[in-house]
Amino acid sequence: MTTSPSAPASTPAPTSLPTLLVLDAEPLPRLGRLTGRARVEHADATTLAERLPHADVLLVWDFTSHAVREAWPGGGPRPRWVHTASAGVDHLMCPELAASDTVVTNARGVFDRPIAEYVAALVLAMAKDLPTTLRLQGERIWRHRESTRVAGTRACVVGSGPIGRAVVSTLEALGISTALVGRAARPGVHGPEDLDRLLAGADWVVAAAPLTDDTRGMFDARRFALIRPSARFVNVGRGPLVVEDDLVEALTARRIGGAALDVLNHEPLAEDSALWEVPGLIVSPHMSGDTIGWRDDLGTQFVELFESWAAGGPLANVVDKERGYVPGH
């Protein structure tokens, strides 16, 4: 079942306060504005299943947990609305939730600009070889080198949602010519049929797509073979967009110029993972969208959505549960 992005969710009965269930993570969200307007309850992975039937709304504050996907198929009523404090929804979607009447919303809009800034920082760091500069400084070695000019280079950004579009505008401000690839071709956006051609001509490849059946593993050995040896690859979308073994092989054999992963198949990355020492690879702990105050922004966004829902108004950021993202971009 697909929910229209402009359709309002069912409103709570006026005679009682709606029950808001929060799947907790520290620090907890600030929900003071909802005092006297909602009955707030809390759950973790061990108690979520038993408390789901009693909730009108579920706030997935712990967006790294798979507890919703595991608990949802159980018996009893289910919340009429689920909001996740993240852009991706793959951690909570299951067939039973996708087929239900429950409205799902996400945190679209909070992370766009911070992630775009982070991508720009990675591009500049790799172009100017900052990792080597910092390493040599730590070793007290003075070694003059030449670096790459980013203005005039070309980027292929995969994922045409708000994050991908923010990446495009930020890279273009650096003088980088960009091509944006989405699920379907439309003005300003290339379709999947153009992806291989654009990869072959890009100096920078940025993955910012949602995780769906179509995008899982899309960056594999075949696609890395298309990328020119001097080009760099950046993933700020979802870890499983990339076949990590294929990326490691491409980097080790120097078939691509470098890569940066802010999202990985398994998080947190194990201390003994080989990814820590792959030549030319920058690994960061899923932090590209997390700027100072980001949790407050997420909490404020949810409270504003809740106020609209409680008043019978439409919900923004409604996810197409079959596609796995908010349509219309």
Long-range contacts of 275-283 (CB under 8 A, 24+ apart): 275/244, 275/248, 278/248, 278/251, 278/252, 279/251, 279/252, 280/251, 280/254, 280/256, 281/247, 281/248, 281/251, 282/122, 282/125, 282/126, 282/131, 282/258
Distance of CA 322 to the CA centre of its chain: 17
Contact 222, 242 (CB under 8 A): no
Are the C-beta atoms of residues 153 and 200 closer than 8 Å to each other? no
Handedness of CA 63, 21, 83, 297 (dihedral sign): negative
The set of catalytic residues is: 238, 267, 286
d(CA 43, CA 89): 19
